[in-house]
Structure 1
Amino acid sequence: MSYLIPSYLLSIEEENLKELRGDLWNDDPVPADLKVGDTTYDVDIAYRGSFTRKLRKKSYRIEFINPKSFCDAREIHLNAEYKDPSFIRNKLSFDFFHDLGVLAPQSQHINLIRNGTHKGLYLQLESVDEFFLQTRELPLGPIYYAVNNNANFSLMKDETMKNSLLSGYRRAFGSSSDDDLLLDLISKINTIPLANFADEISKCINIDKFLRWLAGAVCTMNNDGFTHNYALYHNSESSLFEIIPWDYDATWGRNVEGEIMRHNYVPLDGKKNNHLCYLLMRVPELRKLYKSILEEILETKFTVDYMENNIISLHEALRPHVLTDPYKKNILGKFDHEPKFICQFIRDRSCYLKKQLVDFD
């Protein structure tokens, strides 16, 4: 099936556009209209991201006011993918996590036209909220975004005691009473004796899915995704937390600036500043389980044979739109090299991980 890339027509009154531009760090939205197909939506729009707000091509958060939902979503994110020369790393990552059995946002490339001016190619990301759960027919439960590096599952940050165990998290869905669930999780992570850790932590976290997330983060080499760029969802039926990846553009061999990262930059067992990952890897039975999961992924999913079709089809679908992107049309040579670059990264990264697994006991 061909990968269709629709156009979204955004209309913002000049005074509201001036207000939006007036303060890059203001999260308060301004009103606008968004036309998709034959339907025009009243929306609120604001900038999103952190350092990306300073870039020429901005990313946006859009909330639907009337009608109140769009494609079963109340809110979407439009990522500029400005530093990714391939435009596909985020989508490629989320598709990969989905194949690993990990909850991940849906994504779709679109063309954005603002007040009649073509603003280029964007990646539409599904928001992780109650609509995310409803679409998947999952039981409702609180969701927390890890918004900064304090979300490291530890009592400490940079050798300093945190003021709050909730530091680094923002509740995206749920009530204040749900915070006790997250407080209890972080407290247990830091107090359970290592001898009992496997049994006790399995009552709090879906271990299989967490280790699959870890394997996915390690394979894609998301260097900054271990202490933020994820969400936590508490499944009210299983009473277990599940982890959901978020913002995976700095992957597949490139960092947040779009520069090359060596294929061995991120260790086999992830970054040790994620205290939960560190503890899990100190438990022999969980370490063995992670090894078997990673071995399976390296043989079946994290291979050029498995990934190349998706890489090439996405690249071919996006190419005509990159040609018209006012911010990217002059980097076509680099864009055309990216499928080869990503495939070579997969080969090099897989070879490195397999060698490291030999003595990973």
Structure 2
Amino acid sequence: MELPQQVATYQIFVNNQDYKTLQNHVWDDIPVPAKFTVNQKSYRIGIQYRGYHIRKMRKKSFQLLFRSPSMFSGVRELHLNAEYRDPSMIRSKLSFDFFKEIGNLAPSADPVFLKLNGSNAGLYWQLESVDDLFLKKRGLADGTIFYASNDDANFSLIAPDKKAKSSLESGYTLKIGNKEDIGLIRELVYKINTLHPSDFKAEIAKWIDLPMYFLWLAGVVCTQNYDGFIQNYALYRSGQSGLFEVIPWDYDATWGRDIHGEIMEYDYVPIQGFNTLTSRLLDIPEYRLVYKSLLESILETRFTVAYLEPYIVNLQKLIRPYVLLDPYKKQDIETFDREANFILTYIRKRRSYLLDKLIQLQ
């Protein structure tokens, strides 16, 4: 796992009237104009708040949309995550790099220090959008991308509140593709829920990249992202293979903490995970063994204290000077300093729990 080389400094300037509009309309996804400056080069951008829970917090996350020039470092937009509820400030970065280590697709995450209208706004993580540029950067085939934008994206006909969904595509937002592509989600969800058991194995392999799905499942189970089974992901359908692949997104509530930053016990998420697609796949003995074998390998080689500790310690060491400059986090520096040990204790306990539960996948 490769550490970032540095922490870049970004400056954003928003005029007083536009800044008041931004602050007075926290829940609006309407960007206001601003100027973005880095390394003495300036860009005209639109800026808006992003996320859900974080909009209620003192330190908020931002989305930047580049207007002129229309590209910055090969992207059209940036997601600046505040990580306000994560006392370690590294859980998203650690999660995405862990997913990449085990062979899954995941967005990049880089630390930046943000100045807003000349004042310190704090340490943020610059998250890469999962879009057509994400695919191009990795040499992947063009395709369709959906965001699982709420917890209706559970691959079921029934919403988490036990009510019937309003539509088969409920929970998904089309990011890249045409309106006609929404039919792909409708058909996928319909097949997952209605295929007869005797037909399911052969048919689902025509829709889902199964090796990659099981890698993703192992990643969610190790990091214990409770919401990751029903949202917090993107669905990419390769235009070449026609298969869907799951890409993680929004992983600050992981590694032993929930969305409020409170302790999530190491045994909270079962080894089988949960959502309708996963349940149906793991009903098939052959697929259970595929998942078991992948998980065993990850627990042996990647999800260990010995493998992850140097990265965790050095990543926190890199960002610590900027946490001390963060007006929203500097008062919690003692908690920040303890959090590496908290994460390592979680890894130790979670790994032991998963090793003990492997027998359930026989």
TM-score range, shorter chain: over 0.9
> Which runs of structure 2 are paired with 1:256-335 in the superposition (5 Å)?
256-271=259-274, 274-335=275-336
One-letter amino acid of the structure 2 residue matched with residue 45 of structure 1: I
Structure 2 gaps of 5+ residues are none
Contact 1:33 1:40 in 2 (8 A): yes
- Cα distance change of structure 1 residues 103 and 2 upon mapping to structure 2, 3 Å threshold: closer
1:31–1:42 contact (8 Å) kept in structure 2: yes
How far residue 107 of structure 1 moved from its aligned partner, in angstroms, is 0.5
CA separation of 1:155/1:297 partners in 2, compared to 1, >3 Å: closer, same or farther? same
Q: Which residue of 2 aligns with 1:227?
A: 230
Question: With structure 2 as the length reference, what TM-score do the two structures score?
Answer: 0.97
Match of 2:196 among 193, 197, 215: 193
Confirm or deny: 8 A CA contact 1:197 1:283 kept in the other structure.
no
Q: Secondary structure at the match of 2:231?
A: coil
Verify the 8 A CA contact 1:194 1:283 in the aligned structure 2.
no
Instruction: Check the 8 A contact 1:8/1:35 in 2, yes or no.
Output: yes
Q: Which residue of 2 aligns with 1:87?
A: 89
Aligned counterparts of 2:314 and 2:171: Cα–Cα separation in 1: 37
- The corresponding residue for 1:347 is 348
Return 5+ residue gaps in structure 1 as ranges.
Answer: none
- Inter-partner Cα distance in structure 2 for 1:318 and 1:300: 27
**Aligned mate of 2:126, from 106, 124, 127:** 124
Q: CA deviation at 1:360?
A: 2.4
Equivalent pair of 1:45/1:62 in contact (CA under 8 Å) = yes
Give the conservation status (yes or no) of the 8 Å contact 2:80–2:127. Answer: yes
Aligned to 1:48: 50
Match of 2:113, SS? strand
Segments of 4+ in structure 1 off by > 6 A? none
Q: CA deviation at 1:37?
A: 1.1
SS at match of 1:210: helix
Deviation at 1:2, TM superposition (A): 6.2
The SS at the match of 1:224 is helix
Q: How does 1:158-197 map to 2 (within 5 A)?
A: 158-197=161-200
Give the total of aligned pairs: 359
Task: Please state how far the C-alpha of 1:200 moved relative to its aligned partner.
Answer: 1.1
Structure 1 residue 226, shift from structure 2 partner: 0.8
CA RMSD in angstroms comes to 1.0
- State the distance in 2 between where 1:67 and 1:136 align: 23
Deviation at 1:180, TM superposition (A): 1.6
Q: How big is each residue's C-alpha offset from its partner over 1:17-48, in whole Å with a ceiling of 9 and x where there is no partner?
A: 01101111100100101111121111111000
How many angstroms apart in 2 are the aligned matches of 1:26 and 1:188? Answer: 36
Give the aligned partner of residue 238 of structure 1.
241
How far apart, in 1, do the equivalents of 2:261 and 2:223 lie? 14
For residues 246-257 of structure 1, the aligned pairs below 5 Å read 246-257=249-260
Distance 2:92 2:197 in 1: 35
Q: Secondary structure at the match of 1:257?
A: coil
Q: CA deviation at 1:93?
A: 0.1
Give the aligned partner of residue 211 of structure 1.
Answer: 214
Q: Tell me which of 141, 147, 150 is aligned to 1:148.
A: 150
> Kindly, what percent of the aligned residue pairs are identical?
49
Shift of 1:12: 0.4
Structure 2 match to 1:101 = 103
* Letter in structure 2 aligned against 1:225: G
Q: Which residue number in structure 1 is paired with residue 339 of structure 2?
A: 338
- State the alpha-carbon separation in 2 of the partners of residues 193 and 38 from structure 1: 61
| In structure 2, C-alpha distance between the alignment counterparts of 1:208 and 1:254, rounded to whole Å | 28
In structure 2, what is the Cα distance between the partners aligned to 1:341 and 1:84?
12
State how far apart, in whole Å, the 1-side matches of 2:167 and 2:82 are: 33
Give 2:65's match in structure 1, choosing from 63, 76, 87. 63
Partner Cα separation in structure 2 for residue 181 and residue 358 of structure 1: 36
Task: Report the Cα distance in structure 1 between the residues aligned to 2:359 and 2:163, rounded to whole angstroms.
Answer: 36
Q: What is the aligned partner in structure 2 of residue 6 from structure 1? A: 8
Q: 1:226 to 1:22 in 2, by over 3 A?
A: same
Paired AA for residue 161 in structure 1:
A
Q: What secondary structure does 1:142 align onto?
A: strand
User: Does the 8 Å contact 2:4/2:110 carry over to 1?
Assistant: no
- Contact 1:151–1:168 (CA under 8 A) maintained in structure 2: yes
